Amino acid sequence: MITEESNPAEELVFPVVEEKAVEFPVLDLSKATKESILAFYEQLKAILQASASSANFKKVDELTKEVRTAWEAIKQGERAEALAAFKSTNEDSEEGFSFKGDEISQQIDAISAFIRTERGAFFSNLEKLREKALEGKTRLINELRTLVDSDDNSDPAHVNASFKAFKKIQEEWKGLGSVQGPMNQTLWQSYHALVDRFYSNRSIFFELLELDRKKNLQAKEGIATKLEALAAEISKGGALQKLLKEAEELFEEYKHIGPANRDDNESLWTRVKKSLDVLFEQKRAVQDAQKHVFEENLKVKREIGDLMKHYASFTAANISEWNQASKAVLALQEQWNNLKGGLPRDGGKEVSHNFWSDLKTFFKHKSEFFSKIDAERKANLAAKQLLIDQVNGIVETGTITPEVTQMVIETQKKWKEIGHVPEKQKDSIYAKFKAACDAYFNLTREKGKNAKDVEFEGNLEAKQAILKEMEAMLKDPSLLATLGEKKAAWDAIGFVPRNNVKAIQESFRTTWNALIDLARTQPKEQLAAWGFELKSLASEANAGGEDKKSASPDARKKIQALENDIAVLTNNLEFFAKSKNSDKLRAEVEKKIEAAEKELEKLKKS
């Protein structure tokens, strides 16, 4: 039977809600290197800095026990090698020899020293707190004993003063921390025995005692009721962790409330224990139900981990393959993260460690690949910039000879042979090179421009003027009356420069079709008054503006090919004009141009 003197609150060991487990690193000593040992110690240091606790320090001691031995062996080996090298250059003498190790060795030793220092400080501080709690509770027990032994119930003033002193001792006792070990139970027993003696000795103030116990009874009943409500809520499927935390706080408050009447104390304790049993039985049931889920999660995550292991050794020679592999890896990571629920301790840590390790390895290899690509592209960028500088240098000198022109053409070939540049500079670097080459060839054209070039440029200006007049018709339909005249004027104009043929033809077709569409919206009487037939004009839309009659597809291809040939041959005349003994070649080219123009004229008329 539980009695008030036996302190039922002390007999109950309150279940502790597990804190979030810390994932400690694992070091394979059979493959240990200085770098892996340094990474291992850095992770331990980060864990202790984030969460310094007795359990974590003890775990670190356990993990580093064999690592320290392995590390000392590595250091001794390095020292022996350094000493041998020193002696070989100092006549086999050790005098003046000093060994500190490299930077990694010093970092490992520094972290190891840091962990030892932090551990010593932590346990020293913990011991001080416990000693302080022990000292404080021992002092309070002595003060309470003195108060009880010297209690004079015959003096009301003394009774009141001693009651205030008693309450002060109670408050200070509640504020002190726990004392570890067997002394804790001894202190509690002594404290409660003295508390009972204090109340028992004050029989002349029984009413005051009863009042205090009634208040304690009310407080304990309130807590018992709240715990029963929590038990009912958790039975309905309430949030387990939240309810357990509230229960722990209520029980801690219950423990520090003074005694009620003996019979009431017994019944209250029965209610509290029953509620706590319901709460933690539910927790055990949930944990049992989770075991199956955890095992299923382990099975699925092991399969995902096996797939990820494949990508840890992935390698490729091009960006698209790496990007495709990255999508697959990120998809696996998303599947991993989306899998809700925990893992069993047996095997869970290993699977999780392997998965994230393989994931990091893949992205490390990818980073190394792109670093190499970046270096190559930067080198290509520098090489292309050099070609730009060469062409700009030629343009600045203003020297134009066949040899120099050939040099510029060679730079264009070299440009194509150089690989990719960084994506951000791709367009800008090409624009610079094109501008430099255009600047040179513009110089050659200006210097070697002949009468034919002037004629072609004049034709271009004339056609551009007609285009503007046709575009104005789109805004003012009344101008459509002159559309036939504009078409005739366009057909009467000769060739334009080769580089402008395609653009001027496309502009004409687009504008012409738009005008025909506009004409279709006009009254037939108005079209008749303007003196042209819509059907006749519409049939000329595909003429391209360069031939007077609609040609067959084959004829149009021949016309376009001849026009291109004429433009190329005309352009080549510029270079023949600047070379020695070029009269014969120039005559042959002019003959080809004349023949092509005759053939072109013939095709247009047919």
pLDDT digits (tens, 9 = 90+) for 231-244: 777 776 667 677 77
Separation of alpha carbons 44 and 71, rounded Å: 15
Separation of alpha carbons 285 and 143, rounded Å: 47
Rounded to a whole number of angstroms, the distance between the first and last alpha carbons of the chain is 125
- H or E element that contains 603: helix 583-605
Radius of gyration of the chain (CA): 48
Give how far Cα 204 sits from Cα of 168, 217, 263, Å. 21, 21, 22
At 202, phi and psi to the nearest 5? -100, 45
pLDDT digits (tens, 9 = 90+) for 464-474: 999 999 898 88
Q: Residue 533 has what pLDDT?
A: 59
Separation of alpha carbons 226 and 527, rounded Å: 96
Separation of alpha carbons 340 and 300, rounded Å: 11
8 A C-beta contact, residue 213 and residue 32: no
What is the CB-side half-sphere exposure of residue 119 using CA atoms within 13 A?
A: 17
Q: Residue 382 has what pLDDT?
A: 93
pTM of the model: 0.33
Which parts of the chain have pLDDT scores under 70? 1-21, 152-158, 177-178, 180-181, 202-209, 236-238, 240, 285-290, 341, 447-453, 530-557, 560, 564-565, 567-586, 589, 604-606
